[in-house]
Amino acid sequence: MSDQTSTVTAADYPLSSRRPELLRTPSGKTLDEITLEAVLDKRVTAEDLRITPDTLELQAQIAEQTERPQMAANLRRAGELTRVPDERLLEIYAALRPGASTKPQLLSIAQELEGQYDAPVNAALVREAADVYERRDCLAADD
* Structural domain harbouring 50: 1-82
Q: Tens digit of pLDDT for each residue in 27-36?
A: 999 999 999 9
46 shares its domain with 93: no
Q: How many CA atoms lie within 13 A of 85 on its CB side?
A: 5
Cα(45)–Cα(121) distance, rounded to whole angstroms?
A: 30
CB atoms within 10 A of CB 94: 10
- Give the helix/strand (H/E) hosting 17: helix 15-18
Query: Is 16 in contact with 62 (CB distance < 8 Å)?
Result: no
Residues paired with residue 30 on neighbouring β-strands, in sequence order: 24
| Mean pLDDT computed over 55-67 | 97
143 shares its domain with 88: yes
CATH of the domain at 122: 1.10.1510.20
Q: Tens digit of pLDDT for each residue in 80-130?
A: 999 999 999 999 999 999 999 999 999 999 999 999 999 999 999 999 999
